[in-house]
Amino acid sequence: MLGAPSTHDSGAPATGSRDPAAVKWGLIAATVLFLLLFLALPLAAIFTEALRKGFGAYLASFHDPAALDAIKLTLLVSAIAVPLNVVFGLAAAWAIAKFEFVGKSLLTTLIDLPFAVSPVISGLIYVLLFGLHGWFGSWLSEHNFKIIFAVPGIVLATMFVTFPFVARELIPLMQEQGSDEEQAALVLGANGWQTFRRVTLPNVKWGLLYGVILCNARAMGEFGAVSVVSGHIRGLTDTVPLHVEILYNEYNFVAAFAVASLLALLALVTLGAKTLVEMKVRRELAEAAALASPRHNNEGQS
């Protein structure tokens, strides 16, 4: 009808065109605000407090023998726990993704157990098993072998809280890829090790690296489980997080925040490495798509 108003003639934009933009910018603003409050601001506070008395005082915090021992122990524990978790993660992911067997669902559930159990509880489990009054405590004492309040206990506790990271990155990746390429390699005469080294490992290398990065960051920053099994023996069983707690409780705030800045830097390095891995994966996927596209176009033209 001639008298009916037309929505196309109205100068006001349609509500449907405004709502998506408002929602988008609202979500972006909320995300940025959350990151500023809970990530950027705490990181800035750590470095500000660490440098409050100058860069000289900051460096002097690392001249303390106890701080150096804590750093060395943290690196040692990570150097032991991470490679062992890589071996476990590869084996578990390969078994779950490539084979069918009784108890497969149970194994998958057990891998996720450290995500559900408090780190403090996991530390108490090792005290129950290997402590002086634990299940194996008397036997260990008779053979003069210490696990609790010693480096082996710290390694075990760290491995427990970190072993899902590598496996959980690899399992869905291997399941998505299937086993066709491995089967083809075996048919062509490759043995198991050759198949793993030349087919399986190249296909999961970026997922493996991603899992290693996360595993290492958690291993170096673990507090709860390590605190229970370490005994807080200064210079012997204190890792970097435990040493930060000791310094803070002694009101040595500059040194505490200086040492804590190492963990903050580790977080930033981990974030950067994670970003680089993701960029590399996207680049390889784009290159693969670009190589496949001309072939499909040529096939269509022919």
102: left (phi over 0), alpha (psi -120 to 50) or beta: beta
**Strand spans (E) along the chain:** none
For 206-256, write each residue's pLDDT tens digit.
889 889 989 999 999 999 999 999 988 888 899 999 999 999 999 999 999
Q: Which residues contact 263 (CB under 8 A, 6 or more apart)?
A: 220, 221, 240, 241, 244
Whether residue 221 contacts residue 241, with contact meaning beta carbons closer than 8 Å, is answered with yes
For 23-78, write each residue's pLDDT tens digit.
889 899 999 999 899 888 988 889 899 998 888 888 988 989 999 999 999 999 99
Q: What pLDDT score does 294 carry?
A: 57
Any idea which of 85-99, 144-158, 176-190, 210-224 has the lowest mean pLDDT?
176-190
Q: How far apart are the first and last CA of the chain?
A: 54
Query: How many angstroms separate the CA atoms of 244 and 51, rounded?
Result: 16
Q: How far is CA 152 from CA 71, 133, 157, 253, in A?
A: 17, 17, 9, 30
Q: What is the mean pLDDT of residues 111-140?
A: 90
Confidence band of 181 (pLDDT split at 50, 70, 90): confident
Extract the tokens encoding 101. 């067997």
User: Is 133 buried (19+), middle (13-18) or exposed (0-12) by CB count in 10 A?
Assistant: exposed
Nearest to 172 by CA among 199, 224, 141, 208: 208
Above 90 in pLDDT, residue 9?
no
What is the pTM assigned to this prediction? 0.81
The DSSP 8-state label assigned to residue 223 in this structure reads -
Q: What is the mean pLDDT of residues 128-150?
A: 89
